[in-house]
Amino acid sequence: MGSNGGVTKMVAYISVATPSSKIDDKEVNFLFVDKSGDTIGVATLRMTAFYVSLDVDCDRDGVVEKNNPNKASWKWGPDGHGAILLVNNDCDDYLLEMDPEHKNSKIDGPFDLEDMSRMSVRVRGPDTLPEDCKLRMWVRPDDKERLGIFNLSDIQSTTVMIHIIGPKAGHLAQISYDLMMAGGTGEGETLFAVEGLKYPDRDFNGTLRIHLSLLKNAAVPVFEDTVMFRLAPWIMTPNTLEPVEAFTCQMKKKENIDFVNDFTKVVEAAGIKLNIVLPYENRGDRWMQDEIELGYSELPGKKPMPVVLDSPRDRGLQKFPKGKLLGPDFGYVTRYDQNEYVNSLDSFGNLEVSPPVKVDGRTYPMGRILLGSAFPTYYGRRMMRVVRDFLYAQQVQPPVELFSDWLAVGHIDEFMSFVPAAGGKGFRLLLASPAACYNLLRKLKDQGHGDVLCFEGRTRHGESAEKSISDLLDDADLKAESMQCQNDIDWNRDVMKRELGLDEGDIIDLPQLFQLEEGSGAGAYFPDMVNMIVLGKHLGIPKPFGPMIDGECAIETNVRSLLEPLGLTCNFVNDWDSYHLLMGEVHCGSNTRRKPFDFKWWNMSF
């Protein structure tokens, strides 16, 4: 009793050094005495001590540690910590399912298991739990759509292993303590495989928590342990990374055979694999760049997995990414909103990524995503919101939106590209430049070449496209349209200088003219040379068909003088009839898979 006659409450904190070997084998005796020291009561507390731990590979060395103190948190950077999950969107059961594995809830063989992260439940104590206690694993209800958990102890008892937690299985599962302890050693472990099902997105920051609770009377929590995973992001690869394979289409009746032949020579010079998509596969769609963007995802200690992002455009090549690219260790992802209108800016000629850059003291070791938009106007076309949200949510390549709606097609690859370069930042930004083109044409005229024809032998809309240098210089409408485009390009130039930390020495202007295309926006007047394919030091550049002076194209000579001192090789590809007249060029009609970054995304510092 207290001095005022009330009851004195006492709280005792008890720590147990070792687990129990049987129920109620631990006891604590409490002795109660009065003020004079006389014993007035004795109480005995009997206890059963269990060791229960939910464990993951928190230090990213490929081993599931025991009770790592950082297992329930994530820290970016080279001294960071936190377990990582791969979105399991390849198809190791490709011939049977032809769909990413995150569409099902089972393990499709040992190779599928390799794409999953390991997690363990470790216990020590008596052979059984008290009758009124249970172990339960659970996640938030929303998170069951974002991950799948398999109990690998089931691998001996069933031929098909299915989720114990996942979209179909629900967000909680009972874990058998007795089964873990069946060996009679006083300790047990159950191994789990965890797969990611969804990338970070607008409503999901990429982190997932998994909980293990010891419950009394099925509902009262006695103990809880928690681990955290972060989903590996989808990562784009810039032109400065080494190419692995190139893609292009062959059209019906070989109508683009000149392009394919020239393109093949560039790919062979680069020494990489060439994939030619035949007419029955491309179904009349030649715009390979617009359909897909090739990136990757990566787990620590594992080979990075290529992942194709399929654009919403869905034309003739619609079935190509899932039908031909998706397979073992080649993932697939797409974003599409049926309530939003698909426009040209949703094609992936409008999606690029810079090389690594440093801006105002902040380093972007994996570069920054670039996408075209309606800026700086308040109306016009933009890339579909679900695609933009997806790109922003990946975090490791923070996007920059450029102004591309001034173009009829509206793609940023119509006015810019990056090439690797010795020295400096290791790359150069190439920009299409009407100002540079007019300077070159004036110089050629001043040298007495005003009557030399440009685009000799070429036609446009059934009429001769030939014009002399003087004719081009005297075309006031063409000049006005081109210089308006120069203003739009200059706006983007300033944005990229600011957002990518570039200066004028990092930028090279390639000669180019633009014209208005039936009032719908601008398009290249002759083959748009920045719209090139970059395969290491080998460049596949749209052939401009410029004025022939001393046996050489003066525009090609100018471009060589700008790029070859950087250690690059210029190969000019004839795309006039098969791409240029259809408002596209070499880059639009091709695609490249590249090696991943040496830098690991989890080492990013924010």
Q: Which two tokens stand for residue 64?
A: 């599931």
Say how many residues make up the chain: 606
Q: What are phi and psi of 160, to 5 degrees?
A: -125, 115
Taking 3-state DSSP, the helix, strand and coil percentages for the chain, each rounded to the nearest 5, stand at: 25, 30, 45
Residue recorded with tokens 């172990």 = 135
Comparing CA positions, the residue from 154, 162, 65 lying closest to residue 112 is 162
Comparing CA positions, the residue from 85, 101, 81, 83 lying closest to residue 93 is 101
Degrees, nearest 5: CA angle 67-72-75 = 115
Q: Which helix (H) or strand (E) holds 120?
A: strand 117-124
Degrees, nearest 5: CA angle 59-63-66 = 80
Degrees, nearest 5: CA angle 597-88-596 = 10
Helix (H/G/I), strand (E/B), else coil: 267 = helix
CA atoms of 436 and 238, how far apart (whole Å): 26
Query: Taking a C-beta distance cutoff of 8 angstroms, is the pair 230, 82 a contact?
Result: yes
CA atoms of 48 and 123, how far apart (whole Å): 13
Helix (H/G/I), strand (E/B), else coil: 66 = coil
Which member of 58, 133, 437, 588 is catalytic? 588
The secondary structure of 436-470, three-state, reads HHHHHHHHHHHHHHCCCEECCCCEECCEECCEEHH
Residues 6 or more apart whose Cβ sits within 8 Å of residue 547: 444, 449, 452, 453, 454, 469, 553, 554, 555
Q: Which two tokens stand for residue 108?
A: 């499709």
588 is catalytic: yes
Helix (H/G/I), strand (E/B), else coil: 500 = helix
Helix (H/G/I), strand (E/B), else coil: 412 = helix
HSE toward the beta carbon, residue 593, CA cutoff 13 A:
19
Residues 6 or more apart whose Cβ sits within 8 Å of residue 520: 408
Radius of gyration of the chain (CA): 32
Q: Which residues are catalytic?
A: 588
